Amino acid sequence: MFVALEGGDGSGKTGALAHLGQALRDWPGGVLFTREPGGTEEGLAIRSLLLGRGEHDWDPWAELLLVAAARAQHVARVIRPALAAGGLVVSDRYVGSTLAYQGAGRGLDAAAIRMVHNHSTGDLWPDLTVVLDVDPELALARGMARLAAEASGEDRFESLGLEFQRRVRQSFLAQAAAAPQRHAVIDASCPIELVQAQVAAAVLGFLGRA
Ligand code: TYD
């Protein structure tokens, strides 16, 4: 089983993942928690090229191909082997983020993104994608985006702007609406404990049914 967690910047994904780790600690066969961009040494090198503070001005296509390169390596070296061994994989972001950020955000054609994804990963899609949905204005007001940026040395939220984050949000909602059986949308404007409990319940519920 392959689960991805998605959401705009400052949606509380990091805390939800920590809580999910606790909820799944006794999962038989173990759980591999991983993240994108990243997930491998090569992917981390690409992550720092993409997300370092204000160093680069990537063309959207260059950005797409970099996230796709990191993902190809991640899928081939980490995700597929773990799935083949029967494990559960939970990824902090995956191709949903590419459709949202490079697609809706930066204006690249979704069909082209899907084609790149198809070829570079053997068309590997998550069994379940959990979307943390929150109005970007609220995310900004809560200051979680800023805190996350300070902690990581990355400043995506403010550099992308509110309009961009609104398009990202709409894309995640549209992706979920297009394939409801493979998505769970969680209202991330709720108190943090409730959001975390709902994420864990969505994942455990899906795994229980699968
Ligand atoms: P993330 O590590 O989730 O940061 P945070 O926890 O602060 O939200 O994500 C890093 C950034 O990378 C985020 O702004 C989204 C962006 N991103 C893309 O633009 N395309 C992608 O395909 C992925 C996986 C991430």
Helices and strands (DSSP H and E) totals, the chain: 11, 5
Q: Are 20 and 32 in contact (CB under 8 A)?
A: no
Q: And the tokens for 14?
A: 């990091």
Domain boundaries, the chain: 2-209
Q: Is the CB of 106 under 6 A from ligand 1?
A: no
Closest to 40 measured CA to CA, from 80, 85, 87: 80
Atom of ligand 1 nearest to the CA of 13: 6
Question: How would residue 170 be classed by pLDDT, with cut points 50, 70 and 90?
Answer: very high
- State residue 184 phi and psi, 5-degree precision: -130, 125
Q: Is 93 exposed, middle or buried (0-12, 13-18, 19+ CB in 10 A)?
A: buried
- The verdict on pTM exceeding 0.85 is yes
Q: Provide the pLDDT for residue 152.
A: 67
Atom of ligand 1 nearest to the CA of 157: 14
Most informative mutation of 51, 142, 160 for ligand 1 (most atoms within 8 A of CB): 51
Q: Is the CB of 155 under 6 A from ligand 1?
A: no
Rounded CA separation 58/52 (Å): 12
Collapsed DSSP state (helix, strand, coil) of residue 15: helix
Mean pLDDT of the chain: 93
Percent pLDDT > 70 in the chain is: 92
Q: Provide the pLDDT for residue 140.
A: 83
The per-residue pLDDT for range 43-83, each reduced to its tens digit, is 999 999 998 776 788 999 999 999 999 999 999 999 999 99
Distance 194 CA to ligand 1 centre (A): 23
Q: Provide the pLDDT for residue 23.
A: 96
Rounded CA separation 95/129 (Å): 10
Q: Is the CB of 67 under 6 A from ligand 1?
A: yes
Hey, what amino acid is at 14? T
User: Is the confidence at residue 32, as pLDDT, over 60?
Assistant: yes
CA distances in angstroms from 56 to 61, 92, 104, 125, listed in the order given: 14, 24, 21, 30
**What is the pLDDT averaged over residues 131-137?**
96
User: Is the confidence at residue 91, as pLDDT, over 90?
Assistant: yes
**What is the pLDDT averaged over residues 100-115?**
98
Percent pLDDT > 90 in the chain is: 82
DSSP strand E in 29-72: where? 31-35
| Total Cβ atoms within 10 A of residue 182 | 15
Atom of ligand 1 nearest to the CA of 156: 14
Q: Looking at domain 2-209, does it have CATH number 3.20.20.150?
A: no
Helix axis angle, 192-209 to 13-23, nearest 10°:
50
**Lowest pLDDT segment from 122-126, 144-148, 164-168, 171-175:** 144-148
